[in-house]
Amino acid sequence: MKYSEIFKLKDMLEKEGIPFVWMDKSHLYGAVDEEMYHIRVLTPAPDARRIVSVIQGWGSYGEEDDKLEIMGLLTDEESERDSVAGWLTAQDVFSRIKAAWGR
């Protein structure tokens, strides 16, 4: 499999019981032939605001090295440079999500 980190993160979230929305390329870009995956983690109901969006696939930062790109849950340093951070492992992203959920 070309992109394994996004599936590792999906498994980690499922095992921890953290709800998320999963989308694949058919939901993202329609007719694009490239692989693209997206996980969106929301705050608990009733607010249901986005905590973080995680993508992996064509054009994402780190895609060529099987790494993830996120929008949200950035460090102060990352926020100063850009609105997204890339080249992250599933464990890197999962740790941020767990901390945001207070687990």
1-47 per-position pLDDT tens digit: 689 999 999 999 999 999 999 998 755 555 556 788 999 998 877 77
Domain total in the chain: 1
Show the domain range for 17: 5-101
pLDDT digits (tens, 9 = 90+) for 73-84: 999 999 999 999
Q: So what's the pLDDT on residue 95?
A: 97
12: burial class by Cβ within 10 Å (0-12, 13-18, 19+)? middle
pTM for this predicted structure: 0.88
Q: So what's the pLDDT on residue 27?
A: 57
Q: So what's the pLDDT on residue 28?
A: 55
Local structure of 88: helix, strand or coil: strand
* Bond preceding residue 19 cis, omega within 30 of 0: no
Alpha helical stretches, state H, the chain: 5-16, 25-28, 76-81, 90-101
Rounded Cα distance between 68 and 92, Å, is 9
